[in-house]
């Protein structure tokens, strides 16, 4: 059964049903992750993804990562799962490591920006993961801010940055902030770190070599 609410700590009670319903109907929801607040729309809704780009004023040549509800569904979104990916998922998921796979060609092109690749992550934040499970499908996990501006670590900051362009903000209190997820491309050999963030290069050295 989908939980109606989630205790996000410090008195915050989150109505997941409302947020999930908005996403399933094509809306945009801001929600907390272990780094910053993200913007969630359905991974399969092209109109919602286009709206996401408009809200963020983001160039369409920049791919969008996805947060997934479970690793058991991973093969629905990617062409193959290399052994090295399995090792890193066992070590770093749920957590702050985004892995870039060869994308299922059925995914909306806007997500991949025509690269044929898709970034995926299983979040360690209870609200983010509960939201993907309530939706029953992956959702976008791009930061909840105008492109080029500072990321938001509170619901208030999201409202200040994006105003009324977002349909709903899940207020889960302050997030960890400081760094976003580390992004690693595992479609190449050896894997390549594209952005260092929460998971350090030192932690990934064994996989890079």
Whether the pLDDT of residue 102 is over 50: the answer is yes
Helix axes of 201-208 and 83-92: crossing angle, nearest 10 degrees: 160
Q: pLDDT (tens digit, 9 = 90+) per residue, 40-53? A: 999 999 999 999 99
Whether the pLDDT of residue 2 is over 50: the answer is no
Total count of domains within the chain: 1
CATH number of the domain that 133 lies in?
3.90.870.10
| 143-153: average pLDDT | 96
Domain, as residue range, for 137: 5-208
Whether the pLDDT of residue 103 is over 90: the answer is yes
> What is the structure's pLDDT at 209?
73
| 100-119: average pLDDT | 96
> What is the structure's pLDDT at 176?
86
| CB-facing half-sphere around the CA of 64: CA atoms within 13 A | 34
| H-helix segments, the chain | 16-24, 46-56, 83-92, 109-112, 126-135, 155-162, 201-208
> What is the structure's pLDDT at 178?
86
What is the DSSP annotation of 7-65? EEETTEEEEHHHHHHHHHTT--EEEE-SSSEEEE-BTT-HHHHHHHHHHHT--TTS---
> What is the structure's pLDDT at 3?
41
Whether the pLDDT of residue 10 is over 50: the answer is no
| 151-155: average pLDDT | 96
Whether the pLDDT of residue 8 is over 70: the answer is no
Q: pLDDT (tens digit, 9 = 90+) per residue, 116-147? A: 999 999 999 999 999 999 999 999 999 999 99
> What is the structure's pLDDT at 208?
84
DSSP state of 78: B
CA dihedral sign, ordered 194, 195, 197, 201: positive
pLDDT averaged over the chain?
92
> What is the structure's pLDDT at 4?
43
- Could you identify the residue written with the tokens 């609200």? 127
Task: Give percent of the chain above pLDDT 90.
Answer: 87
Residues in the chain: 209
Which residues, in sequence order, are bridge partners of residue 9? 12
> What is the structure's pLDDT at 7?
56
């Amino acid at each position: 059964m989908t939980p109606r609410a989630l205790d996000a700590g410090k008195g915050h009670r989150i109505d997941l049903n409302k947020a999930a319903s908005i996403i399933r109907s094509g809306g945009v929801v801001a929600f907390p992750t272990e780094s910053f607040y993200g913007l969630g729309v359905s991974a399969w809704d092209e109109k919602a993804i286009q709206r996401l780009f408009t809200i963020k004023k983001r160039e369409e040549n920049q791919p969008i990562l996805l947060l997934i509800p479970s690793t058991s569904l991973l093969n629905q979104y990617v062409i193959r799962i290399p052994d090295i990916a399995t090792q890193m998922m066992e070590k770093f998921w749920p957590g702050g490591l985004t892995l870039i796979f060869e994308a299922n060609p059925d995914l909306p092109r806007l997500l991949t920006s025509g690269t044929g690749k898709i970034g995926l992550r299983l979040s360690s934040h209870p609200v983010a993961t509960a939201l993907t499970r309530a939706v029953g499908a992956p959702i976008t996990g791009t930061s909840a801010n105008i492109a080029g501006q500072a990321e938001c670590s509170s619901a208030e900051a999201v409202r200040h940055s994006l105003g009324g362009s977002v349909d709903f903000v899940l207020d889960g209190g302050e997030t960890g902030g400081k760094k976003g997820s580390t992004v690693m491309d595992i479609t190449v050999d050896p894997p390549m770190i594209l952005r260092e963030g929460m998971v350090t290069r030192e932690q990934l050295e064994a996989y890079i070599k």
